[in-house]
Structure 1
Amino acid sequence: MLAYFFYLIIYPLLLLLSAWLGRITAARSLRKGHQWKPLGLEGGLLGFYALLVSFTLVQSGTRAHERDEMVHAMADDISEILRVAKTYDPALHNRVKSYFVDFYNIFREQPGADRERIEAQIDRIDRLDDVLDADLQRHIARDPSYRDRIAVLMSRTDRMESTYYRLMHSYHRTVPRIILMILMLFSLFIGFLAGFMGRYYGNHIHIVTTTFAVMSIVVLNVIHDLNSPAIGYIRPDFQDITEVMRSFHLLGR
């Protein structure tokens, strides 16, 4: 949560400070009679900053979309497994259903951004899978005719669990912090330049500086939130999995 405090409070203050320092520098230059003329690079600097922002925003949005796709893939696999399991004998069908109830109970306990908690949750799923595999092997020993169907069941369950593992580990595959730091530094430099030019040319309406500051604050906060799927406001939506569980009467409505 300290990161949110920084992006919501500290960063806007730094951006305002950079614009104010630009105005102070321009005022001193005017008092000393220093001449300054635009070099024509100002628009290029702003364009480069905008390009870097758009690249980072697209990358963060893509990562968020990939996490949603993983959730959809898990929901599809769960639905397929439970639908096929209806054709099994009652004992095996009930065992598959109990596995997914246990899996869902672990799954809905989101571990947050802590790596140790994520690893602990993955270990719980691994142990749950080991118990299921042992039960399925015993079922094959009792009824060898189920060997092929259970092999398919185990393969699909492994695929679903693999997607879950990738989802959990994706919480730490985000835009490198150095990129966000570069974006902040560039925005501070441009804020300084906007403040300097506004004061140097005697602009009393700070519409450009204000617009730039608001856009930078909003965009960097959105990028940071997309990079924080465990604690941010923009998180993966697990409603698909919940609806699948309910459709097979494994959860109360």
Structure 2
Amino acid sequence: MIVVSAASGALGRLVVARLLTRLPARRVAAAVRDPARCADLAALGVDVRRGDYDDPASLRSAFRDAERLLLISSPELAAERRTRQHLAAVEAAVAAGVQAVAYTSFLGADRDGGGMNAAHHATERAIVDSGLGYTLLRHPFYTEAFVNPGLRDAVDVGRLTDGTGGRGLNTALRADLAEAAANALTDEAHLGHGYDLTGPLWTYPQLAEALGEVTGRRVELEAGETPGPLGFLVGLARAGALERQTDDLCRLLGREPTSLR
């Protein structure tokens, strides 16, 4: 049995769907805060269980009979609460007799225990120290944060604002990361490894070119500030913080990750 935590989210649902292409539904369980939100998964034969990161007893019940657990990181942004939630999940996995955990961490969490990586770093240490088998899947930012429906506006006006200064971005699609997680969960060769997952490096000039190719309309690039939450990520890119590259995602997928185009 493989249990996927936080399975009602976008990534969790993609992982469950991928697992169902290679395992019978009776061998897949979804641990979610609100099972009523996952009637569609239950209709496919997936065992939908209540597993709330803030309720350790529910996690122990949700993880029962699991040989493998995918611990998808909590959406909680406060590091202290997020750490508490993750450590409760690790303890529940041990108590439930789970054999191995795959954890969706973040790039750099093995080296950096501060800032946005504080909870990831603490969780990685707890998993390694727990005695459980493990695979650490360190994610980049999602490509979908940048390649989103808002790009239609850029096509309509013929201009794309670039606040990155032309620096590269190593993002990856959720679908690729979900497939990599499913591969890690179903192949013991990945136990004991930490993977730094990056997609193919791309730039805003390449994005503008790809938009023009796909739509048949010219899209000019202009320098400027990116408003809203995306501005923070663009700022990281401008500082060169998103240019790290590895072949780990390619290795886990057994193919090249999805290209920008």
Tell me whether the two structures share a fold, i.e. TM-score over 0.5: no
> Between Structure 1 and Structure 2, which shows a larger proportion of strand residues?
2
> Between Structure 1 and Structure 2, which shows a larger proportion of helix residues?
1
- Structure having the higher Rg: 1
Report the TM-score when normalising by structure 2.
0.20
Report the TM-score when normalising by structure 1.
0.21
